[in-house]
Every structure is written in structure tokens, then in C-alpha cells.
Structure 1
Amino acid sequence: MILLVSAVFPPEPVVSATIAHDLAVTLSDDVTVRVLRPKPTRPYGFSFDCLRMEYKKFEHVILPSYTCARSGLFGRMRESYSFGRYVARYIREHRDKIAVVYLNAWPLLAQYLIVRAAKHCALPSIVHVQDIYPESLSTKIPVFCKFIHRLLMPLDIYILKNATRVIAVSENMKLNFIRTRGILEEKIALIQNWQDEADFIKYHYQKKDLLYGQASKKPFTFMYLGNIGPVAGVDFLIKSFAQANLSDARLVIAGSGSMKEECQRIAEGCKDTPILFWDVPAGKVPEIQDRADVMLLPVKRGAAMSSIPSKLVAYLYSKKPVIACVDQQSDSARAIEQARCGWVVPPEEMGELVAIFRLVSDLKKAELEEKGMKGYQYATNNFSKKHNLKKIVEMILQAANNQGISANWAD
């Protein structure tokens, strides 16, 4: 049995959940798969009451662990510890049935407890890392960052050194692990997160039949779509857009998250500035993003250094140009510049973002569409589900084969 541990899973509309589901479905063609996950809570403010899913190809277990959807250091640490403790207990109780443990779990406590349990049970473990901890905490709690760094770094080193394989989602992340944790390069697999391009391809194909896909007069639309959390910098977007004072333009904030109410209060204080907040029903990302002229990617300083936000990939698949407020040395900045699909400005530099807002709002539609198409082509070549899913599946099956399970991967 492949034990697939995921901190998020459908119906949660986040990319890590989709990745875990893709893995479970594909692996179950060859071997028995059992998914362990907590009850759905992400993103904060999203309603799951009317969403029910059936999982027919694999076993699905919801653990009764503590959850904390609202951002907060101690609540999130308790959530991580609780989930890790339940998973570790499950591993110990079912060790004879498990061939390999794949985990995309909350950092760092859950990861530590799960890897330690797998090690004690002589089971191979594959850790899928989405962000670098404890470094990323410095953007959330800068006052105590040095103390927390010294406290938590040994945990991360233990996790990475005792896992059988480590999946890094960006080049910067891989280099960081080698340089600061002493992890052997051959132990780390660089595999980008993916979006299912099929949803976007299907939408583009059907677009002509949709009402709002037809030509219509609307304000020039800048859009952010994603989690409205403390690292996203949506508040900075709102203030900068108001400062730009554009005519016949609007800012749309689509999504939910722990900072949504605060951002709505800021928007209400920007009188005479058209700032709208939209919900994003499950499965409607391609349709909603199609209503934008330009997509926005704001990230707090330092927070984009370790990974490419999943929303950027979705933006590119929507054939939209992107304005990114990210660190110049980040993988996100590198991707946008390589693709030539948008503009990169430093995080939290209002003057530069205001200037870009004004510049872009005056560009011709053909120039925006050209940049959008370049981004789409770049995403197809680098963030495809087809290629990146196969890499992880092969890694998991190889670990299973080493444990004595026979499984073949077919193209």
C-alpha cells in the first residue's frame, strides 16, 4: 500500500490538494493507495457545506486532528503537531501494510513526526516541500525570527536528512537545501508544481459560446485571484491602485482568506476607487480570470524566494500578462522575465507599482494578448501536469518496488 499523506485534499480548492488527488488517482491504477488528510478547512472563509466528493479508486481517511484555518502562529503549530501525531500513530499501527509514505504535510512539526515514524518503522518516505521553513516565518513574525530560526532549523535538517527523497518545487529551494542543510544534491528532485492545463484548454475552446466571452465594454480590469492571506500583500495592491487614480479601470480581488475582511476595510477607505471583491466557486478559475486584462502577483518581501506561487501558473494558463511584486532573485521573477509575459517590480514599492499600473492601462490590447500568449507557452513547457505528475509517480513507484511491490508505469 502507498500511504499518501496530504495536509489539504479536494474539495479544498488549492493547488496542493489537486496535486495530491492527481497522485492518488494515477497511482491507484497500479497499486493500493490510502490517503490520510485532516477535515477540509482551506482557504479560510471557504464554505464546504455543499461540497461532497466520492473517491472510488483509492481509500480515503479523514483524521480527527485539530485544524486552524485562520492564520496564527500558535494555532498553526498546534494544527501541525496534531496532524503529525495522528499520522505517526497510523503509520505505527499499519506498518506491515505500508510500502512507502509520501507526505505533503504542514511544516515543520507534522513533517518531523511523520518522517520520524517512517524511519522507526523502516519505511521509505518522500517529502514534498512547498516552502522553506523556518526562513519563511521571518515575513510573518519578524520580531522573533532569529530565535525561531535557531529553534526550528534542527527540525528541518532532521526531516530532510532522514527522508528517503526530497521534492523541491523551485531551483532556489533546491540550492538552499544543499547550501544551508547539507543535503546531497542527488537526494533532491526538482519538480515544479502543476496546474491541470486541461481545465484551461477546455475553457479556451468553449469560450466563444460563453456570454461574457463575447466582446463587451467593461473597465480595464486588474485582477488578483488566490488566497487573501498575510503573505499575499493584497493590502499593498489596494493602496497602490488607489494611488494610481486611473480612469476607466477597476481592481478585482477574487478569492477568500484570513485577510479578506481587513482588505475590504482598506478598500472602503479608498473613496471613488472601483475595487471589487469576488468569490471563486470551485472549478470557475478559468472563467473568472478570463474577465481580467492583467493579473497581479503581490508577495511580501522574501516570501517568494523559495517557490513559485501556484496562482502564477494559473495566470499563465489563462493567457493573461502578469504584474508581479516579488523579489528580483525569486523563481517567479525569473519565470516572468524568461517568458517575457509581464512586468516585475520590487515588493512593497508603491511608487514603482503605481507607475506600472499607469503604463499597462494605456497599452494596446494586441500587446497585452501577445504577452499573455508567451506566458501560456512558457507554462505549457514548464508547468505541465503531464510531465511533472509522471516524475513523482515514478519516484513513488520506484520506492515501492524497492520494498517488494511490483508496479509498472505506462505512458
Structure 2
Amino acid sequence: MTRILLVNRFAPPDPSPTARLLGDLAAHLAAAGHPVTVLAGRLRYDDPKARPAATEIRRGVRIRRLPTTRFGRRRLLGRAADYASFYAAAFVAMLTELRPSDVLVVKTDPPLLCLSAALAARLRAARLVTWNQDLFPEAAEALGLRWAGGPIGRALRRLRNRALCRAESNVVLSPAMARHLEAEGIPRERLAVIPNWPDEAVRPLPATANPLRRRLGFGEDRVIGYSGNLGRAHLADAVTRLVLDTAELPGLRWLFTGGGAGMEPLRREVERRRLANVTFLPYQPRERLAESLSVPDLHLVSQDPACEGLLLPSKLYGVMAAGRPVLFLGAKEGEIARYIRRWGIGCCLDVARPESWRAELQRILRDRGELARMGERAHRICAHRFAPEHALARWEELLAGRPAAARTTEAELVA
């Protein structure tokens, strides 16, 4: 069996989506008989003061957490220090862990981890696979960081592209991301589209059978939810405007579960205006995700149009698995909007016409029957196209050296 080393800044049981996905893949590979080790930082996504165990065995996977700084995500300099310390610790650990013909799988937290991974793989004659949750520095440039579009950004992009060309395979989440990298000069045969997947524990729960909804006291009100990180790429200002423009609608509740840079400003504005129908919850543990994702009648998913083809919000899969329709705020003709219209699993708000949001939302919420039907379709589509076993089987093919069998085509996604 092949020895496999996976590297990401967070590892299970951390609540971050990257940790959950990595944990699922690692456990699946371990169950198939592969010796699997995970290298991660000794910190938590939602609490930089927490100090997880340095080593542990979880679901048959050896997890080794490396000593790094723990400033957290609130300040740019602190985050940069956390990144730098992880780069250094992870590079040394990769050199000590890898043997010839091992498989090294690296994610994109921290960004550009592929640079040191490519060097480590070359020095140890290991096979390199990159798992790209987003494309950096392009995403940084799209979000307005000017340095990312200047000489520094261009140099980083060239280095990134060189590392990806050296990798055996580069996994991306969508056909649009694959097209972007191909345009950057990455050979098509080294690219594989393998979508993310929902937590296997997430399933539809009727409102009447959901203890969390009862505890929150939402009753017969219609609930719009947002779950996960509300960050720079998620149109935090537009989401705040949408909430404030609709908060006074009768019988409507907003539920925000998670964190991120945009969550605190939204919370402060809600408190300043004393809006009683907006509720905030922290990240929920894995065993409560089915309850948490089934509380809303409709889930908001947002993405800055500038980030089209550079990332894909992983919260989409959990929403669909919970059997809930999607309210998308982002590029009207973008990838997610096309999928929503093609599958009939939700509605799209035109990010360029905020004056239309309130009336459109009222129209959407008026028909409870159609909301339920869209949710049922979302659940069926998710089970058919994004079930964990489908993606994990593709990963097995890829790591076995059969990349052609692992690729997902755009036709398969939208058929």
C-alpha cells in the first residue's frame, strides 16, 4: 500500500471546511489500507488560543500537529506570522516524513504551500498532488489587494505555476478553475476536477423534527440562514445590506452560523439597530450539522463576482445535502448561478441591482410549496452528483495513478 502524507493548516476535529474534507479523505484512504499521516498546525480555526494535542490517532489516521504561532485570523500581520511559521515547520516535517514514492497531498491553507511541497517532493523523490480550494494570488488581486496584481503577485504566480507543472496532478473544484489554470500554462493532463462534498452526517430534517429550531423558537416563521465563513470573498457588505433591507419583513428570521471577518461588523450593526429577528450562532460541531443546516427554509450563499473561476464556496454542498434551496448572491451568469438555474434548486439575486433584493426575496418566500420542491431537488442532485463516496472514489483513482478515471467533466456536473 502507498504511504500518503496530507498537509493543511487545520485538521479534524477542527470545524473548518478544509479540515473536515481532509479528514474525510484521510480516513477513507486509511480504511482502504494506506498508511496515512496528516501534518497540521497546533491551532484551531475558530479559537487561536486553543491548543489541540500534538499527536493523535483519529479514524485510523496519524495526525501530527506542528508548533506554530497562533495569532489567529483577525489581523493581517498576525495571520502572516502564522503562515510563515507553518511554512517553515511543515517544510521540515515533510522532509522528515517523506520517503521515495510516497504521495504528498497539499491543500491551499496557507496559500502557496505548493512551493515548499514541490521542493520537498523533489528532494525525497515523492509524488506531489495539489488540492486547490482557491487560486492564489489571483483571488487576492480580485479582492482588491493591489500588491497581488503587481510585480510581487506576478512573481508569485510564476512560482506557483512552476510548482503545479511539477506536480503529478492538481485537483480543482470546478471546470472554471481548471480552465483558468490551463490558461496559465498548466498542462490539461495534470488537472483533475473533483468537486468537494458534504458531510455524510448531513441529511434533511423537517422543521417539526428539528430540536435546534425548537430551541431557537422560530415556530412558523420563515428562516433564511447563512452557514460558515463570512469573509472578503463573500460580499460581507452586500450581505449586511440585504439583511438590513429585509429585517423588518413580517414573519422573517435571519440565522447566521459561523464566523469570519464580515460577521462581527454585521453583528454590531444588528445590535446598533436592535433587530430582534437576526440570530447569531457559533460554528456548530460536526454531530449537530444536520440540525444546524436544516433550521433555515432557505440558505444564502454569496460570492464576489470578481472571484469567479478562482474558488467555489463549499457551503453549497451542505445546503443541498440538507435538502434546502439556495439563495445566491453573486455573479448572475457565473458558475453557481448557472447550476442553480439548470437544476432548479434556488434563486439568484442580481448583485448589481440591490434595489431589487427586497421585492425579489418577498416573492421567493411567498411560495412555501416551491421552496420545499426546490429543496427536494437540491437533495436529489447532491446525492447523485456530490455524495462523498463519488468524490472519494475519484480521489482513489487519482492517487492510484489513474488520473483520467478521476476527472469530472462539466457535462457530468450539469447533466
What's the CA shift for 1:53? Answer: 7.3
Query: Which deviates further from its counterpart, 217-226 or 91-100?
Result: 91-100
What is the identity, as a one-letter code, of the residue corresponding to 2:233? V
What is the identity, as a one-letter code, of the residue corresponding to 1:25? A
**C-alpha distance 141-377 of structure 1, shift in aligned 2 (>3 A):** same
Partner Cα distance (1:77, 1:18) in 2: 23
Q: Does 1:353 align with 2:368?
A: no
Cα RMSD (Å): 2.9
Q: Does 1:26 align with 2:40?
A: no
1:103-143 superposed Cα distances (whole Å, 9 cap, x missing partner): 11425342211112212322110000000111110244344
**C-alpha distance 96-367 of structure 1, shift in aligned 2 (>3 A):** closer
Query: 5+ residue gaps in structure 1?
Result: 400-411
Partner Cα distance (1:235, 1:292) in 2: 21
Partner Cα distance (2:154, 2:160) in 1: 11
C-alpha contact (below 8 Å) 2:206/2:294 kept by paired residues:
no
Partner Cα distance (2:211, 2:276) in 1: 29
Query: Which deviates further from its counterpart, 17-26 or 76-85?
Result: 76-85
Partner Cα distance (2:207, 2:350) in 1: 37
C-alpha contact (below 8 Å) 1:7/1:38 kept by paired residues:
yes
Among candidates 2, 16, 20, match of residue 14 of structure 1: 16
C-alpha contact (below 8 Å) 2:103/2:126 kept by paired residues:
yes
Among candidates 230, 238, 242, match of residue 236 of structure 1: 238
1:369-391 superposed Cα distances (whole Å, 9 cap, x missing partner): 00111111111122110010111
**C-alpha distance 387-239 of structure 1, shift in aligned 2 (>3 A):** same
Matches within 5 A, 1:121-160: 121-147=124-150, 148-160=152-164
Partner Cα distance (1:209, 1:120) in 2: 53
Partner Cα distance (1:312, 1:306) in 2: 16
1:202-231 superposed Cα distances (whole Å, 9 cap, x missing partner): x64997485857998332211111113232
Count how many residue pairs are aligned between Structure 1 and Structure 2.
Answer: 394
Residue aligned with 1:231, SS? helix
What's the CA shift for 1:301? Answer: 3.0
Partner Cα distance (2:352, 2:276) in 1: 20
Q: Which residue of 2 aligns with 1:106?
A: 109
Query: Which deviates further from its counterpart, 255-264 or 75-84?
Result: 75-84
What is the identity, as a one-letter code, of the residue corresponding to 2:126? L
Q: Which residue of 2 aligns with 1:393?
A: 396
What is the identity, as a one-letter code, of the residue corresponding to 2:66? L
C-alpha contact (below 8 Å) 1:222/1:252 kept by paired residues:
yes
Q: Does 1:332 align with 2:341?
A: no
**C-alpha distance 300-130 of structure 1, shift in aligned 2 (>3 A):** same
Matches within 5 A, 1:288-327: 288-327=292-331
Relative contact order (C-alpha < 8 Å, sep 6+): which is higher?
1
Residue aligned with 2:219, SS? coil
C-alpha contact (below 8 Å) 2:133/2:312 kept by paired residues:
no
1:6-50 superposed Cα distances (whole Å, 9 cap, x missing partner): 222111112221221122212223221111111232146797789
**C-alpha distance 235-170 of structure 1, shift in aligned 2 (>3 A):** same
1:65-108 superposed Cα distances (whole Å, 9 cap, x missing partner): 33453155444444333323222222323443661111114253
1:175-221 superposed Cα distances (whole Å, 9 cap, x missing partner): 00001x2111111111001113x3123x6499748585799833221
C-alpha contact (below 8 Å) 2:224/2:253 kept by paired residues:
yes
Give aligned-pair identity as a percent: 21
C-alpha contact (below 8 Å) 1:46/1:256 kept by paired residues:
no
Q: Which residue of 1 aligns with 2:263?
A: 260
TM-score (normalised: structure 2): 0.85
Matches within 5 A, 1:38-117: 38-43=41-46, 54-55=57-58, 57-96=60-99, 99-117=102-120
C-alpha contact (below 8 Å) 1:102/1:396 kept by paired residues:
no
Q: Which residue of 1 aligns with 2:5?
A: 3
C-alpha contact (below 8 Å) 1:67/1:79 kept by paired residues:
yes
Residue aligned with 1:96, SS? coil
What's the CA shift for 1:167? Answer: 0.4
Matches within 5 A, 1:202-241: 204=205, 208=209, 210=211, 212=213, 217-241=219-243
